[in-house]
Amino acid sequence: MRLLMKIIGFLLVCASFPSFGTQDDLRLDALFSELHNASSGSEAREIEKNIWEIWFEGPNEQVDQYFESAQIAASGGDYRSATTALDKLIDAHPEFAEGWNQRAIVYFVQGKYSAALADVDKTLSLEPRHFGAASGKAQCYLALGEPLAAIDAFEQALSINPWLEDVKEQLNQLKAIHLNPRNAI
């Protein structure tokens, strides 16, 4: 009886932890708190790296294989194969936010901005703290000639991760051009 209680207790503890690193990973809450409280850019970059590592952890080997196939194909410019691998990944695990984000990147590189935006929105619905997706959303809006929407998306990214220096720079440039009353006609 005592052994049975120990086994049940162990299973309950294991069930409370995710079996893979996703947007539901309990480590992320602490990392995002650390990110907001970071005292330097170098400290923030290390925390960002840890967040990305968790986001990239697949739920099983099959997902990891799809991910690897997509990355190899995309790095070789074979976007069709990259998209196919990511489609399979998303079909198998639609709750895996990074699959959607990576497909958004592949779409963006091909100039398929509307498709990229749809996948970015799905990424953000699964992981609202995905500063990479929010920044990618801004890039899509810039490519579509929608600077005010890009400003909103950059601000969203910075509200999640205030240490994104390139995003701050782009945001300041956009605001200077598009929100400066002297530029209004």
pLDDT digits (tens, 9 = 90+) for 119-129: 999 999 999 99
Q: How confident is the model at residue 93 (pLDDT cuts 50, 70, 90)?
A: very high
Share above pLDDT 90 across residues of the chain, in percent, rounded to a whole number: 79
Residue 118 has pLDDT above 60, yes or no: yes
- Of the candidates 37, 62, 61, 34, the one whose C-alpha atom is nearest the C-alpha of residue 49 is 34
Q: Is the pLDDT of residue 12 over 60?
A: no
Average pLDDT over residues 132-159: 98
pLDDT confidence tier of residue 177, bands split at 50, 70 and 90: very high
Average of pLDDT values for 10-32?
A: 60
Q: Are 166 and 48 in contact (CB under 8 A)?
A: no
Query: Counting beta carbons within 10 angstroms of the beta carbon of residue 17, is it exposed (0 to 12), middle (13 to 18) or buried (19 or more)?
Result: exposed
Q: Which of 13-17, 24-28, 109-113, 118-122 has the lowest mean pLDDT?
A: 13-17
